[in-house]
Structure 1
Amino acid sequence: MPLIPLDDLDDPRLISYRHLKATNETRYLPRFVVEGEKLVDQLRESRYPMESALLSDRHADRIGPKIPEKVPAFVVDHQKISTLVGFNFHQGAMAVGVRLPQIDPASIVNPSATSLNLVVCPVVQNPENLGTIVRTADVFGVDAVLVGPTCPDPLSRRVLRVSMGTALALPVIVLDDLADRLVDWQRTFGLQLAATVTDPDAEPLSSFARPDRLAMVMGSEAHGLAPEWIARCDRRVTIPMRAGAESLNVAVAAGIVLYQLSRPGG
């Protein structure tokens, strides 16, 4: 489809791109928005259909040919795009994706999987933290990230931006019954749950031997893991810190844990 120049910001075809800063919550919407050329490329290669693209007139000639043939690509004056989206935008391109049913966790957690590596985030609240955890999990070969129902929408613009689009490829599965599912998988699948804690009496990360089927459970930004979550876990693991040090940011902690587990013998 040829590029479609638009001058009127009230054109109804641009509705999905309006005031994005004020409408970042996309959890209950059938569509989501990605920003930046790299994420537009990743959306094109993902399982999610691309509904439309929005291109700055400064970059349309370069990016336009990469937009799928049947997807309308709207070209808007570079200065006007910031007015349209509600923030200072310099990324050159955006696109709207169509939300699909999330991946069935049974396709990942099943008896045929001899090895399994999961990250579990029951109550992470910050989209940037979730995006960083997803990006890090992808780097270190995690099979899926499981999150509780109050966590940020994995397809929100901020999570997608910080994850550099890896949330479009790595399964990030929201489960209302997360705790019950994990307990069931412990019993029927032999999944081991490891709680990440700050307790110095817990097992040091450096000596933690990873089982074949493992879920690392990460705490919230403010309070860490709730006692009931720690009680559900088979093991408690800690990153040793100097006495009196503040706890690590959850995304930083996840990076350290996943790096250590990716090492030979980890």
Structure 2
Amino acid sequence: MTTIPIDDLNDPRLAVYRSLKATNTTRDLNHFIVEGERLVDRLIASRYPTDSVLLTDRHLDRLQTTVPEDVPLYVVPFEKVHDLVGFPFHRGALACGRRLPAPSWRELWGTASGTLRFVVCPQISNPENLGSIARLCDAFDVDGILAGPSCPDPLSRRVLRVSMGSALRLPVVVADDLLSMAADMENTLGVEFFAAVAGEATPFEEVSLPPRLGLVLGDEDRGVDPAWVARCRRSITIPMPGRASSLNVSTAAAILIYRFASRAEPPPRTQASIGLGGT
């Protein structure tokens, strides 16, 4: 492995790693940054090309063997990396990935057979919430996330960090007109959309799962937009007997995704299974 020591922070090869906190908006760039050993490994293992890896000298011996031979490996002094990225940084590893053309939903699922599960995020605004939702979807085998244009960049540093790299594996389709795309998916794939709302609606435990489901989550302040409620086949809610009237969207997502990610209906509860007729 050939390493490239760099002591001068003005070296142009380090430009993509400079002032990351001030340049977190990466949607319009042709690259993105991941931070930390695990995310560097997951970027290398993903479909996205790795343009370069940056390690501090304190982490070089332990991490350099994980970097492919054809990827430039830059090494900077540990005491300088904080000035480079613009905040205290102790994870020891960064990498620059290259964006690829985003596939359409037709390319991803147009010929799919069997059940499909989607989570729909028309207006999530907090990158950490989107990162948490991506990690949940990855954990519970959701087929993909459908996102509106106002959602955070799925490949932004914060989304990738919170999702622990799940956004590198899980398809996230961003559409300028997500309502129209949902209508096309309903007509073409038979996807039924359920709106997750607070208040009067069918408790989520009581609904039957359609073979193809899109779970629509609302934004952090106003919930699901009325246009989406009208678009959805039905509205469902999480019963809350306590005094709080709503949950954080990522917390609600965890409850609902765990239920709706199931690929089959649970068996009917019999008297024996609920302890009402057994011996």
Q: For the superposition of Structure 1 and Structure 2, which TM-score range results when normalised by the shorter chain?
A: over 0.9
Aligned residue for 1:229? 228
Alignment of 1:73-222 (within 5 A): 73-200=73-200, 202-222=201-221
Secondary structure, aligned partner of 2:51: strand
**1:140-188 deviations in whole A, cap 9, x for unaligned?**
1100001000100000000000000010010011111211011122223
Structure 2 unaligned runs (5+)? Answer: 267-279
The answer to whether the Cα contact below 8 Å between 2:117 and 2:261 also exists between their aligned partners in 1 is no
Q: Secondary structure at the match of 2:229?
A: helix
Contact 2:125–2:150 (CA under 8 A) maintained in structure 1: yes
Q: Give the whole-Å Cα distance in 1 for the aligned partners of 2:245 and 2:80.
A: 44
Residue 109 of structure 2: SS of its match in structure 1?
coil
Counterpart amino acid of residue 260 in structure 1: R
| 8 Å CA contact retained: 2:142, 2:261 | no
Q: What RMSD over aligned residues (CA atoms) do the two structures have, in Å?
A: 1.3
1:250 and 1:62 map into 2 onto residues whose CA distance is 38
User: Mean Cα displacement is larger for which, 14-23 or 1-10?
Assistant: 1-10
- Aligned partner of 2:270 in structure 1 is none
Structure 1 residue 261: Cα displacement: 2.2
Q: Aligned equivalents of 1:111 and 1:234: distance in 2?
A: 23
Q: What is the CA–CA distance in structure 1 between the aligned matches of 2:189 and 2:54, rounded to whole Å?
A: 46
Q: Are the equivalent residues in 1 in contact too, given 2:40–2:93 (CA < 8 A)?
A: yes
2:31/2:99 contact within 8 Å kept: yes
CA contact (8 A) 2:198 2:245 kept: no
Query: 1-side partners of 2:88 and 2:114: how far apart?
Result: 48
Structure 2: how far apart are the matches of 1:94 and 1:22? 16
Matched AA of 1:217: V
1:211-257, Cα deviation, whole Å (9 max, x unpaired): 11000000000000111110000011100012641310011111000
**Residues 49 and 98 of structure 1 are in contact (CA less than 8 Å); yes or no, is this contact kept in structure 2?**
yes
**Distance in structure 2 (CA, Å) of the matches to 1:103 and 1:163:** 20
Task: Return the alpha-carbon distance in structure 2 between the equivalents of residues 38 and 185 of structure 1.
Answer: 35
The separation in 2 between residues aligned to 1:239 and 1:220, in whole angstroms, is: 16
Confirm or deny: 8 A CA contact 1:57 1:76 kept in the other structure: yes
CA distance in 1, matches of 2:242, 2:95: 48
Instruction: Report the alpha carbon displacement of residue 111 of structure 1 after superposing the two structures with TM.
Output: 4.5
Greater Rg, structure 1 or structure 2? 2
Distance 2:173 2:186 in 1: 18
Amino acid at match of 1:158: R
1:255 counterpart residue number: 254
Deviates more, 1:203-212 or 1:137-146: 203-212
Shift of 1:112: 3.5
- The residue that corresponds to 1:12 in the other structure is 12
TM-score (norm 1): 0.96
Q: What residue is the counterpart of 2:240 in the other structure? A: 241
In the other structure, the counterpart of 1:47 is 47
Is the CA contact 2:194–2:232 (under 8 Å) kept in the aligned structure 1?
yes
Judge conservation of contact 1:194–1:236 (CA < 8 Å) in 2: yes
Distance 1:226-1:153 versus aligned 2 partners, 3 A rule: same
1:29 paired residue number: 29
Q: Distance in 1 between matches of 2:239 and 2:167?
A: 30
Q: TM-score w.r.t. structure 2 length?
A: 0.92
Count of matched residue pairs? 265
Describe the shift of the 1:76–1:116 C-alpha distance in structure 2 as closer, same or farther (beyond 3 A): same
Deviation of 1:61 (Å) = 1.1
Q: Distance in 2 between matches of 1:39 and 1:49?
A: 14
CA contact (8 A) 1:108 1:143 kept: no
What is residue 273 of structure 2 aligned with on the other side?
none
Q: In the alignment, residue 152 of structure 1 is paired with which amino acid? A: P
